[in-house]
Amino acid sequence: MNKKTLSAIALMFLGLSMVLAANLGAADKESLHRTYCAEVAVWAAEEARGVEPLDRVGHPDYRGNAAEICPGLRPAD
């Protein structure tokens, strides 16, 4: 193989690697988003049950946007 062919193959490999990395990053972001919403939901449910803050699992809505970005999240009754 000549230099041009090897360069073209290397460039294609680099491009495919970048596309794969971008897609993996999007999947990680979605996973983090779902985890955040689940943790906020658990915290809110335990708060509604009267569990003391130091004994709760999950975490509060420290971003302040769970009502808008987490589907199905509503205050516990």
Does some domain include residue 74? no
Does some domain include residue 75? no
Does some domain include residue 18? yes
As a whole number, the mean pLDDT across the chain is: 84
Does some domain include residue 44? yes
How sure is the predictor about 21, in pLDDT bands with cuts at 50, 70 and 90?
confident
In the chain, % of residues over pLDDT 90: 31
Does some domain include residue 76? no
Does some domain include residue 77? no
- Reply yes or no on whether the pLDDT at 27 is more than 90: no
In this prediction, residue 74 carries a pLDDT of: 64
Q: What would the mean pLDDT of 17-24 be, rounded to a whole number?
A: 78
Does some domain include residue 47? yes
Query: What's the pTM value of the predicted model, to 2 decimals?
Result: 0.62
Three-state SS sequence of 21-58: HHHHHHHHHHHHHHHHHHHHHHHHHHHHCCCCHHHCCC
- The total number of structural domains that make up the chain: 1
